[in-house]
Each structure stands twice: as C-alpha cells, then as structure tokens.
Structure 1
Amino acid sequence: MKISAELQAFSDRLGHQFARPELLQRALTHGSISTATRPDNQRLEFLGDRVLGLTLAEALFAADRTATEGQLAPRYNALVKGETCAAIAREIGLGDVLKLGRSEMKTGGRRKEALLADAMEAVLAAIYLDAGFDAARKVVLELWANRLKNVDDDARDAKTALQEWAQAQGMTPPSYVQTRRSGPDHAPEFEITVQLDDGRQASASGKGTKRSIEQAAAQALLEQIEGST
C-alpha cells in the first residue's frame, strides 16, 4: 500500500516508518468518518494506552531505583494523562493528518484535547502492531524524553497545594464535583469541576482515574489564582 506524502511526512515526525501503512491510516481515523469497511481507531486506542503505560512505568522504575510507589504514581499519572498525550500529539502535528467527519471538523476536532490524546494512543498501538514493542517503546521514549526528565515538576500534587492555599485564606477545603462521564467502561472520560468558597472554580476533563482529573482541575484553578495575583 502506497503512503501519501502527508502521511510520509507525519511518519518522519513520528520517528517510525510503517511496513503496514494501513495501520497508521486506521489509527488516524475518527469515529465520525468510519464505515463498515473503514474502521475507526477505538480498538487501537485501547491497546495503545497499555503500550504507553507499560513503557513509561518501566522507564520510571528504571530511572529511580529508590522511589516508592507513592513517588512513582504521581509521576506516572503526569506522563500518561490525556493533557500530556494531546500536547505531544500537537508537537508532531497529529491533528493535521486526522481523518474526521465534516461535523467534527466544523467543531474544531483537530484541536480537541480528548480526540488528540486518543489518536496519539492509537498511533502507538499501530507502531506496536507494525513492528513490535521495542519499536513502540523507542518512539515513546523519544517523544516523552523531555517530560521524563522534568517529571517531578509535572507531578506536583496540585490538590494538596490548592487545599493549603484555601486554608491559608480561611476557606474550607475545595470541593470536587463530577460534572460528566462518557466513553466505554474500559476507558472512561471524566469532567471534574473544583470550586472554592469564594466562588472561583475550574474544570478539567480527560481519560484516567477521577483523581488524575481532579489533579488537573486543581492545577487549572491554581494557575487561575496565580494569574489574578
């Protein structure tokens, strides 16, 4: 199967040349344009999430032999969360090559965080199926290299920091409310809103555990507070 110039350029940015380019095409196909003969990327997303998780868990485990589980977990969550996957997808121009339906394109699908994160995971699964785990690991470690180096900064416990700030202002602890849940049971997506006594609030959404989305919402509110001071 011949690959288009556009997909060849993306493969170059990705750092993997596909022996089976149809896998890449499927990874980039959103449900809004899929058909019976053109399946979407959801199954690949499921597999890619596991490929990404194992690669980064292994990398963190090897990088710090003395770290406890309590130290490794927030680092891991910072690396695999939807916001990180979407950011990396933007860095390699993944949104530019996504195959979307017209309605999804009109609503800015190429820039949607959840959509980009899902597609990033699907692409990793495509690499895994195309050339095996070592090839997928190589791509992940290259794309996530800077974030692995700075993971402690990204893994700060935003919930604790926000609670301490609120208490210092004489407020009760922040409240967290789940405002939306969607997606399949194996990969749910949550939207969480955090609110302070003074009415300030922020929301975050994405895949993962509720705690990881709460952390993202807390971080968003902290940034809002910092921006207003």
Structure 2
Amino acid sequence: MSERPSAQTIAAITGTDPRDLALYHEALTHGSSGAGDYQRLEFLGDRVLGLVIASELFRRFPKAHEGDLSSRLHALASGETCARIAQRLDLNALVRFGTQAIGDGGRYSDNIAADVLEALIGALWLDCGEAAARAFIVKEWGEMIDGQVAAPKHPKAALQEWAAAKGRKPPEYRLIRREGPDHAPRFRVGVTVGKLAEAEGEGASKQAAEKAAATALLDILTQEEKK
C-alpha cells in the first residue's frame, strides 16, 4: 500500500491547505485496501464537478442554447476527461490499494483515476467549501472550457447523423469481448453501418469503447470520401 499523502502533498494538488486530512485520505483509498473507500466522496464530487462546470459554461457562453451547453458539459465532465486530468496530477500513485488490486493493474485504471479525482473534489468541498472546490476545478478545467469554441459533438451522434444523411442504416454496435477484473475492465466493441464499413474500439467502459469505435469508423468514412 502507498503511504498516506501529507498535508503538503494535498495542498500542492488542490491549491488549498487541508483542514481535515482524513477526508483526503478517504478520497485516495480504494476498496481493495480493506479500509473505508472513496465511493461516497466520489458521489458528492461528481455532483460538485457538474454544477461548477455547468455554471462556468452558463457564464462564459451567454449566447449558447441548452443543447450546446449540455454537449459541452457532457464532454468536460466525462470519465475520459476526468481520467486525463487525474493522470496529469498522478493521483493513482497516491491511492492505497490492496495487493490484489495492484497486481490487477489498479494503478493504471482510467476508471479508478476518474473516480479518485471526483472523490478528491468531494473531499475538498466538504473540507474547505465551495470556493476552494470551484477554484480547483476552474484551474484544472479552465483552458478546456475556454477552448471549446464550438460545442463538441459526441462521435456516436456524429456517426448516426452521417448515416442518416447518406440514407444508410443506423450504426449497429456489438460487444466483442470484456477482459480484466471488475475494478479495471477493458471492453472491445465493433460498429458497422450496414455492409458499408466497420471498425472497432476499446475502452474502460462499454460506452467508452463504443465512442472509440464510432470515432474510428468516422475516420475511415472520412478518408473514403476524400478519395
């Protein structure tokens, strides 16, 4: 198991001196350790993250309609984005795992990385209040929020629209395989548009694998159209 992070380490990550260090230790504890884990704090942090990002989008994009705001929120608060930020902060290196979870690759799990980041936000909100949690989120997500000149379109939606515009059958997804332990699964999904083309994608969840497959198929179709 990892040593519990110090107050200085937490402050360096969050930008705020912790008052109740136990909250952050809980946020950085996986259930496999046999101690209380991060799941309750993750539940709270997920809601705090969504609220802060939604309010920032509302303020920064005054002319955007509800659909655009929802698309932006979905991308910014997704597990994929959270995992990327958690990896940049190297949070998984601070998580206390049980021996089995370490052997199963828990430290490299995108799912766990995303969950731990949300748990950390929950701990920060409880410990130091809304202003501290908002400051941390704006610091880590700010450039991505401002960088969204246009609302991102989910690859599955984009593929669905492409098929409809071309008069093709709707995309069909199928699960090819699921591997790994429950706390660090890997999914592989295939997608086809009739008999026109097919592609596959992988991810830490079925939804992520479907997104990857849709992205891959869109790339194939785009290249074909350029020929």
TM-score, scaled to structure 2: 0.78
Q: Which moved more, 1:4-13 or 1:163-172?
A: 163-172
1:90 to 78, 82, 87: 87
Measured at CA, do residues 66 and 213 of structure 1 come closer, stay the same or move farther in structure 2, by a change above 3 Å? farther
Letter aligned with residue 189 of structure 2: T
Deviations 1:150-170 (A, max 9, x none): 234672332243345557888
Identical columns (%): 37
Distance 1:213 1:65 in 2: 33
Matched, 1:103 2:111: no
1:193 to 189, 206, 224: 189
Letter aligned with residue 25 of structure 1: H
Measured at CA, do residues 126 and 5 of structure 1 come closer, stay the same or move farther in structure 2, by a change above 3 Å? closer
TM-score, scaled to structure 1: 0.78
- Unaligned runs of 5+ residues in structure 2 are 178-184
Paired residues, what number? 214
Larger radius of gyration: 2
Measured at CA, do residues 179 and 133 of structure 1 come closer, stay the same or move farther in structure 2, by a change above 3 Å? farther
- Unaligned runs of 5+ residues in structure 1 are 181-188
Measured at CA, do residues 121 and 213 of structure 1 come closer, stay the same or move farther in structure 2, by a change above 3 Å? farther
Distance 1:154 1:213 in 2: 22
CA contact (8 A) 1:52 1:140 kept: yes
Partner of 1:25: 25
Deviations 1:158-201 (A, max 9, x none): 22433455578885332135789xxxxxxxx9x68351144422
Distance 2:167 2:42 in 1: 44
Partner of 1:58: 55
Letter aligned with residue 193 of structure 1: V
CA contact (8 A) 2:44 2:122 kept: yes
- Map 1:3-152 → 2, pairs under 5 A: 8-34=8-34, 38-152=35-149
